[in-house]
Every structure is written in C-alpha cells, then in structure tokens.
Chain A
C-alpha cells in the first residue's frame, strides 16, 4: 500500500523534481548513503528506486527476518513443541515444511507488492520501466530469501524471544550497507550485507545485478538453512 501511495505521489512531484534532485544531490554523505547522487529523482525509475526502494528493502527485510526467526523457536516459546514432536513426524520433515512455509510467505508478499507497484504505475499513466523494476524486485526478493535463510538457522538455536533478534539482524544489515556507502574503508561490508546487491543506484545504472554479491549472499542463506537442519534434528526440547 505504501508503495502505491509513493507511486501515486510521483505525478504531483514530477514538476518540482528538478529542484529537489539538486537539493538531494548536495546533501553530502547522506546523498551517497542512499544512492541519491546517482539516481534522478525526476524520472519514475529514480523516484521509485529511492522512495520505494528503502520502504521495500527495509520493510521486506523485517518481514522476512521475522517470519523466519520465529518459525522454529515459537514452538518452544509457546510450548507447543511437546505436542508436535511427540507425534510420529520426523524433525527433518517439520524443518522442511516450515522452511517451505517461510518461502511461500515471502514469495506471496513479493508477488503482491510487485502487482501493486506495476498496477499503480499503470494507473498514473507512466510508461513502465520493466527491466529496472524487475531487477529491483528480484534483488529485494533475493535479499529477503537470504535473510530468511540466516534467521531460519538462528531460529533453530533459540528457545525464547526471537522478534528482537530478527529485527536486530535486519537493521544491522541495513546499517552495514549505509556505512559501506559512506566510508570507503568499510566497503568490504557490502560482501556481508544483502543490501549490498540491492543498491538501487547500481542496479538502475548498470542494468544488471552483481552476481558475485548475490552468490555470496545465497551461500550465507544456505549456511543458515543447513545450520537449522543440523541443530534442530538433535536439539533437546525442554519442558519449560
């Protein structure tokens, strides 16, 4: 919904954009942190990447992290694990089905968002920049999958509160990218945070996604998932 509102704002703002772009482009470090030095606020792609990219990036990251970090641990936190695990169902099957559930939730959310975004662009009557929009959404989808994989692994180790851990990881990753954008010495952080390959300005100007960063990210996500299987299949389930 927020994305649609942002898109609907575009026609209103379009006329005033030239001035605003100049202002945004002269905000020093902040400009670089959000990639506003390389995006044109006056075009739909630039506007969408800056306005919606941050909402989509952080919001999607929160959603994916929260979905994944709670899914295994909440059975113990809410003490339903004893009910579930005393039935003849293998833990591997439980982990697999819960993982699929997380992936379905994330995929469904992304499809809905994608439909709303494209739909709202059709409504305002602008020409849709398909390639950029598809690449942006794909990058954010991969970011969410990676974060979900990491948080899924963490979920297997937790017994109690998980919300804070999930939000913490999402925020940490987000800020790592901001720091990497501002300080050159911290540029290596781009290899750690999935926000590194979701840099709107890079995607829009390059016209492709950074395969190396994505590959590293997917390895992180996979390690998380493997860790979940390793831990949860041998975890002691306590009574309280």
Chain B
C-alpha cells in the first residue's frame, strides 16, 4: 500500500488552474521530493492531501484512505509543516504545542520537550514575539511531536539558519530510518537532491517527470568548465555558455567525440567535466516546454 496515491487529481479554483490530472505514488518509508516553482501547484496538491481543499475531479489517498471521506483518520497519521507558520496570538509556545497534541488526543510532552531542546526553542516565549525562524521551529515540533507515519513538509527550511537546517534534516533522516514517509515540497533543489530518494517535478499543474533523484539528475548533458583557448563555434549541443575570469563553462549534450576533437585543437590549460546538478536539470525541464529530454 502506498503512503500517498493520487489518481487524476484535478483542482480548479473557479476557472483558474490548481493541478491537472495528477498521478502521484509515494511508497511507505521513502523520502519523496516534490519540486516546482511558485504557482506550479505544489501547495494545491498538499492542501488537497490534507483535506483543506476538495478535488474538482479525481481522488487522493493516504495509506489507502480517501482524503475526503476519511479526513480525520488521515490527519491522525499525518504531520504537516506549512511554509508559513501562523498561530493563535497571545499563546505561549508550550500552550500551542499542548493544544496541537490535545487536538490529536495524544500526550506528546516528552517528545515535544526533547524536540524543543534539539531545536533550541524557548517554550515559555509568546508566539507573537518569535522571529519567523523560531515560529517555524514551533511548526516543526507540531508536525513531529506526535510521531506521525507521514510527514508533509512545505518549504521546510525557510527562515531556519544553516545550523538549524542541518539539525532539522538530521531529525528527518532519523524519522525516515524509523519508517516515517516524508513528502518534501521545495523549490530548493539541493535540499531535494541531498535528502530525497525519488522526486516529481511539477509544472503548470502537471507532473512532467517523476523518477529517482539519481535518474532525474542523469542526462546525457555534462557540465564542462575549461581554462584556455578553444574554438567552440562549430560544436552542436552547447547551452548556457559563459566565460568568467578566463574560465569558459557550458552544458554539453552533443557528441562527446566531437567535443574531444574540438578540444584537442585548442590550447587547454585546465578542464573539469562533471554531471550537472539537479538545478540545471530542473531548468532544462522547464526550458523544454515540459518535454523530457
């Protein structure tokens, strides 16, 4: 049974598009990345999974339960971290955490205390006095303290300093190793590349690619950086060519032999050929009008 499964999930807000015929499948215990720019439909997908909005067509299931018909049972198993954490004003951190636990009819005092210590959060402060990053920590603890089977994280690291980001992903890795499924929505590709095993790319409401992160990152294209002089004008398959401080860098998707012949005619002082990172792949997907390369 999949942790998340959507079938032709479609959501329109009046006439404007949210998501279109989305077919997603996330296995239990995997860390799944969900990548796309703002407005692509990431939040709509998440809000449908959480029952905040109802699908116009199609369906979504979490652990085999329909997100509309079994909303409360689904939410009991889910921990959700919103991109922007907003709480009831005037309440202290510990009261918010207690309220969240009470709404789930669970005693999470020990877990909540331990997470506060790990994330260095003062439980006695009022939420209105907290910075954006500290409010995010409160939301993280609300999402984690009841030890959910599925974690849905929407832009989780916004506002967190690098040390806290590292601690956060450390906690996520621990949970994942204990069997928690993680659905990580982000536009920060390195975050997905470093933490997820599989990922889907969403564009204008549709999934345009869904595969393991390694496969997504693997294309015929190579990132080539070189220092020296070489004539690249006749070479086909070159993109993103820039020269900064004598170093020429480009993405090459053509014939490698042709590249090597061309390079051997030049005067190369230094060369570095590497796999492009996910960010470059991502731009690639978006430039090609949705067609996979």
A binds B: yes
Residues of B within 8 A of A79 (CB): 84, 86
In the complex, identify which listed stretch (B70-78, B226-234, B241-249, B250-258) lies at the interface while the others stay far away. B70-78
- Closest B residue to A236 by beta carbon equals B53
Contact B72 A80 (CB under 8 A): no
Instruction: For the complex, give the distance between the alpha carbons of A17 and B16 in Å.
Output: 67
- Closest B residue to A90 by beta carbon equals B72
Contact B86 A87 (CB under 8 A): no
Contact B75 A80 (CB under 8 A): no
Question: Which residues in chain B, 89-131, are within 8 Å of chain A measured between CB atoms?
Answer: 89, 100, 103-104
Chain B interface extent, by class? 20 to 34
- Closest B residue to A237 by beta carbon equals B52
Residues of B within 8 A of A237 (CB): 47, 52-53
Q: Does B182 contact A (CB under 8 A)?
A: no
- Closest A residue to B52 by beta carbon equals A237
Q: Does B216 contact A (CB under 8 A)?
A: no
Instruction: For the complex, give the distance between the alpha carbons of A88 and B70 in Å.
Output: 10
Contact A87 B71 (CB under 8 A): no
Among A80, A82, A85, A87, the residue within 8 A (CB) of B104 is A87
Instruction: For the complex, give the distance between the alpha carbons of A190 and B192 in Å.
Output: 65
Residues of A within 8 A of B54 (CB): 234, 236
Question: Which residues in chain A, 96-138, are within 8 Å of chain B measured between CB atoms?
Answer: none
Least distance between A100 CB and chain B CB atoms (Å): 17
Q: Does B176 contact A (CB under 8 A)?
A: no
Q: Does A1 contact B (CB under 8 A)?
A: no
Residues of A within 8 A of B89 (CB): 78
- Closest B residue to A93 by beta carbon equals B72
Can you give 24 contacting A-B residue pairs, CB < 8 Å?
A78-B86, A78-B88, A79-B86, A80-B88, A81-B52, A82-B52, A82-B82, A82-B86, A83-B82, A83-B86, A83-B87, A83-B88, A84-B103, A86-B50, A86-B52, A86-B78, A87-B104, A88-B76, A88-B103, A90-B71, A236-B52, A237-B47, A239-B43, A239-B84
Binding site for A on B (CB under 8 A): 13, 43, 47, 50-54, 71-76, 78, 80, 82, 84, 86-89, 100, 103-104, 142
What 13 new A-B contacts, CB under 8 Å, besides A87-B75, A88-B73, A90-B72? A81-B52, A83-B82, A83-B86, A83-B87, A83-B100, A84-B103, A88-B74, A88-B75, A236-B13, A236-B52, A236-B53, A236-B54, A238-B13
